[in-house]
Amino acid sequence: MKQFIDYLLLRNKGKTFVISKNNNMTLEETKQSIQGDWVSIAPELRPSIIKNADGNMKPFYLSRVFRYSAGDKFELAVINSADPYGKAPLVKILIKGHITWQGEHPIAEGAQKVDYIADEAYEVTPLHQGFVDAMNQIASTGFNKWEVNGTQSVMGKAFAPFGLAEGQVYAEYDLIYVLNEMLFWGARNVDGRNFDKVENRPTNLQIPLIRKK
C-alpha cells in the first residue's frame, strides 16, 4: 500500500489530488477507457490457500502486465516471485482470451462484473530451477521436460499445480473499475479462494494497475 500512496503523491506533485466519488462510467465508456497496456505499480501481495508450518496463511507475490483490445480481447502476463520485492522470479504465466461483461458490480458506481475466459492461450514459463524441479515431479505427464525459460502450453490439459482439469477452459470471475486513470480489479478473497466460481467473485478492490509508459 505504501508504494500505491507514494505513486499518488508523485503523480500529483504540485497539484491538488481529487478522487471523484461519482465515476458513473457506462459500459462502453469503460471499455474505451481500458484500451491499451497496463502494469503493476510495484510487486503485489496475495493470500493463498497454502499455510505455513505455524498454521498462518502463506502469502505469494506477483506483478501483472495487462492488455485490452478491440473485440473484448485480453492478454495477461503474471510473474510470481518468491520474495516481496520481485527479485526472485519463479514463473511467468501468460493467458489470452476474451472478456464477457456481466453487468454492474455494487462495489462502486461504474464498476462492472467481468468473466475472463482464457480461450486462446494459457502458457507457463519456469524462471527458477526450484520451480522446474517441482514441475518435473508433479506435472510431468503430458508435458515435455520442464526447463528454465522453456514455455509450455497448459491450455485444455490437466495441470494439477494450477488445479486445471483435462479439457477445461480456464475462467476467472472478477470485476473491473476505472478511476483517475487507474484500473482496478477485484481483491483476492482473504481466505485465498480463487475466482474460479461465480460465487467467488470478489467484493473488494485490488491495488490498481497504471498505464504502461
Amino acid at 145: K
Amino acid at 149: N
pLDDT score of 187 more than 50: yes
pLDDT of residue 47: 77
Calpha distance 133→145 (Å, rounded): 10
**Sequence-separated (6 or more) residues with CB below 8 Å from residue 45:** 59, 60, 61, 84
Maximum mean pLDDT: which of 1-10, 42-51, 139-148: 139-148
pLDDT score of 10 more than 70: no
CB 132 within 8 A of CB 123: no
Calpha distance 208→9 (Å, rounded): 15
Q: Reduced to 3 states, what is the DSSP secondary structure of residue 134?
A: helix
Calpha distance 198→45 (Å, rounded): 23
pLDDT of residue 51: 65
CB 88 within 8 A of CB 99: no
Calpha distance 124→152 (Å, rounded): 6
Strand partners, 91: 80, 126
How does pLDDT run across 92-125, given as a tens digit for each residue? 999 999 999 999 999 999 999 999 999 999 999 9
How does pLDDT run across 27-36, given as a tens digit for each residue? 999 999 999 9
How does pLDDT run across 127-171, given as a tens digit for each residue? 999 999 999 999 999 999 999 999 999 999 999 999 899 999 999
pLDDT of residue 23: 64
pTM score, two decimals? 0.85
CB 167 within 8 A of CB 157: no
Q: At which residue does the C-alpha cell 508504494 appear? A: 3
Report the percent of the chain where pLDDT is more than 90.
Answer: 76
Calpha distance 82→17 (Å, rounded): 35
